[in-house]
Structures are given as C-alpha cells and as structure tokens.
Structure 1
Amino acid sequence: MIDEHLITGAGGGQVLALALRAPHSAASTLVAQLDAIAGTGIDGDRHADPLSPRQVLLASAAVYADLALPAHTLGENLLVDLDTAQLASGTVLQIGDAVRLRLMFQCEACGHLDAFQAGVSGRIGRRRGVLARVLAGGIVRPGDRIRDLGRILPAWDDDWRARVAQVLRALPDGMVLSYAQLARLAGVQSSYCRAFPRLVKGLGYAGKAVPAQAAVGLRCWQGEGLFDDDAG
C-alpha cells in the first residue's frame, strides 16, 4: 500500500465522462460507470492486462474543444477536466473515494487519429492523453472528484525506446524476452517489433530479446515483478 505520509498533492479535477473499449473492438462506448480492478485495469476493457503499463487512458476535455474532435476520437476511458499533458509520470491520482491510478507515460499520437480528422495526429502533440495502471480498484462515475496525490512512485519515460531499455534492465539473469512480450511490457504497439533487433543490439542486450520462434525452449521472462512498485 502507498504510505499516506508520502501524499503531498492537493490539486485535482473531475471526471466528466467514461467510455469502455470492448475486446476485439476499436470503438469506444459511453458508459455510466467503470469498474477499475487493482493491478488489471478496467473490467471488460480491451486494455485490461496485469502486465501492461497502459491499462487506462485519461484525456482532457479541453483537447476535444480546442481541436473540434468527434466524441471518443482519443479512445479515452476517463474524460477529465485536467490538462493531462502536464501530469507527470509517477503521479498517483485518486478518483472518488477508492480508486487510485498510477500515471505511467504520455500516450503517443498515432496516425489512426487522422481517420477522425485529417492531420490531427500532427497537431495534437503531447495532448493525446496519459496512460495509467490501477493501484486501487472500485467504481468510477462521472462527477467523481480527482485528487492529485503527488509524484510518489517511480517514473516511466515518454520515449518508447527508453521504456524498452528499462524493461531490458529488469530482465532476470539467465532469461530471455520475446519481442512480443517486450512490446507488451514497454507499452508499445506490436508493429514496433520491427525496430527491436537493431535497438536491442544497440542497447547492449543482443540475444536477450528474440523473436518468438527463437525463444522456444529457452527460459522466457513474462514480466513478473516489473510493476511491483504498484504496491507502494
């Protein structure tokens, strides 16, 4: 559990709307409440995954207003009245009375956004939203207050390359990591695996992260313990 004596922040905001992205669906659905599950994510959401740093996405309502975006363009779970671009990794937010989220890193703007509005991926910058893991579960509803509890957990880098390096540094001795699992743990799309051979070699971990077929019969790490900081 998080030590209450470490809580320093007093600022916050409010949850304005909630959405769920069901498994095998790219579309978001407006919902009246979300069930956040500690260590896993949002119940019934496509990104619920105990070994992912991107369980929950928070986006700012101001971005929708400023860029005139259609609803759910950003694919957020929580639409909030905070400037998510100013929220630092390692910050813990309390949502309502029970739910706590650990902010991980800013979400990259991908080309898929341009399907909603031409060129928006290039204009949005750091305002795509911030990704988080669920520390403490409970029900989230529109109108819930958001309290900033401060930067009380280790930070993760916004740069995906730095996150890959962070995961590789945590790799236990004598074990390897498949490219697919590396992408999962670093919070990047599977398409990034094409860049892994050169990147992994350049980081000095050649042979430590390998294609799935090369990992057969080896001691493969799944990421156990990587997010133990969630326990506070």
Structure 2
Amino acid sequence: MFDTDSGRVLALALRAPHSAGSTPAAQLEALPGTGVNGDRHADPLSPRQVLLASAAVYAGLDLPAHALGENLLLDLDTSQLLSGAVLQIGDAVRLRLMFQCEACGYLDAHRAGVAARIGRRRGVLARVLAGGVVHPGDRIRDLGRPLAAWSDDWRERVAQVLCAVPEGMVLTYARLARLAGVQSTYCRAFPRLLKSLGQAGKAVSGQAAAGLHTWDGGGLFGDEGAA
C-alpha cells in the first residue's frame, strides 16, 4: 500500500470513440461495471476500462501530454500498483486494478525508442467498481487487495479466461480477445496458443461457432457487487 497522503489525481483525459487521441477533461464520469462515460474503452466485458498513468513517466521520458493515452494522471508510481487492489478516487469512485498496460509500438511516434524503454511504466488498467465523478485534485486511497489478481502476461490471461468457460460451452476468438484484454490482431496467435494449453476446443473462430453454445463471459471478473 502507498502513502495515502501523497496520492492525488493530477489531470484527466477522455479517449472518445473514433478519435485520433486523448483530449483533456475537467471531469470524468465513471460508470460502475462499464468504464468512463463517452470513452472508447467503456465495455462491461473488458478488463481495460480505465488507464491510470504516472506523471513521473512523462517527466522522465520527456513525453508530450496524453502520449500514454491515460484517463487519470496520478502523482503515484503506477508500476508499483498491484493487481487485485482497489483504489478509491475522491469520495465515491472505486477502481479495481487489473494489470499493467503493455508498451505499444505506437508510443515511438511520440519519441523514438520509448516503447523499449518504458517497460512496466506505461500505466495500470482498471475496472470501475463504484461510479461517480472524478475531478483533478481528488485524493486516492488504497483499500487493499480484496479481489483476484490478473497477470500482466496476455498468454496467462487467455488461459485464465479459458479455465472459466462453463462446461459444454465455447468462446469465439473475438470474445476471448475482449475478455483477456488484448487487441483483435492477437486472434491469429490463438490456435497455436490454445493447442499448447490443451484448450483447443474452448475457443473457435466466428464461423466455427455456428450452432455451438457460446459463452458471453458474464461473471468472469467476479467484481459484480464488490463496491
């Protein structure tokens, strides 16, 4: 746990659907179980609803504002925040920390070599447990780790999702990617990965799913009513 006297929200940003990047926001509305109202990552079935980043990373790597694509900019080292922990933002909002955000190659468009240098410092992804309005200056409280941890490794997250598939049901590749928090391009790697995991029958392409009982992923995260 961190020193609750130092944790504060410094700035906010919204990643609107079909937009080229993030735009500053005076406040954000967090929707329980969904994400940030109006943000393109708002999705009840995603572990990537909110991105929290550290102001120190911007200073250390000399990055332009919003280069990391965060919703909340914090005065904390997000690389030290642990999966399964719950943060309270202000008086009402509670976020469940899921896993560290991977460094994408597009970061190099802002400054060459950033993706290779940033490591775990891109930011931490979270789901919204309790909703409300977030403002710059809101205090952050660490409420401990009452919920299950998720891996930073996307392969381990895929395995975790597959283990939760009910008996007699399957997932489509697209739904598996969504639940595991990876881009749809990762679907190309699923057949080989599933085979190596011994889970080849648990997920199939969209066409192959016709006539099968497909799982919608409901209840996977186990944080319903956890607020």
Pick the aligned partner of 2:125 from 127, 131, 134. Answer: 131
Are 1:102 and 1:230, in contact at CA under 8 Å, matched by a contact in 2? Answer: no
**What is the percent sequence identity of the aligned residues?**
77
Is 1:200 equivalent to 2:197 in the alignment? no
Task: Map 1:30-109; keep pairs closer than 5 Å.
Answer: 30-109=24-103
Are 2:129 and 2:223, in contact at CA under 8 Å, matched by a contact in 1? Answer: no
**Deviation >6 Å, runs of 4+:** none
Is 1:142 equivalent to 2:113 in the alignment? no
TM-score, length basis structure 2: 0.96
Are 1:102 and 1:134, in contact at CA under 8 Å, matched by a contact in 2? Answer: yes
Aligned residues: 225
Q: Distance in 1 between matches of 2:38 and 2:15?
A: 8
Structure 1 residue 228, shift from structure 2 partner: 2.2
Cα distance, 1:10–1:82 mapped onto 2, change above 3 Å = closer
Q: Distance in 2 between matches of 1:112 and 1:171?
A: 33
Mean CA deviation greater in 101-110 or 201-210: 201-210
Are 1:38 and 1:137, in contact at CA under 8 Å, matched by a contact in 2? Answer: yes
Pick the aligned partner of 1:155 from 149, 154, 162. Answer: 149
Pick the aligned partner of 1:219 from 196, 213, 225. Answer: 213
Residues 113-143 of structure 1: CA distance to partner in whole angstroms, max 9, x if unpaired? Answer: 1111111000000000000000000000000
Residues 26-49 of structure 1: CA distance to partner in whole angstroms, max 9, x if unpaired? Answer: 310001000000000000000000
Aligned to 1:17: 11
Q: Distance in 2 between matches of 1:123 and 1:204?
A: 35
Give structure 2 stretches of 5+ with no counterpart: none
**Root mean square deviation of aligned Cα:** 1.2
Structure 1 residue 59, shift from structure 2 partner: 0.1
Q: Distance in 2 between matches of 1:116 and 1:9?
A: 30
Q: Secondary structure at the match of 1:64?
A: helix
Aligned to 2:204: 210
Are 2:29 and 2:131, in contact at CA under 8 Å, matched by a contact in 1? Answer: yes
Mean CA deviation greater in 91-100 or 199-208: 199-208
TM-score, length basis structure 1: 0.94
Q: Distance in 2 between matches of 1:148 and 1:10?
A: 9
Pick the aligned partner of 1:119 from 113, 117, 141. Answer: 113
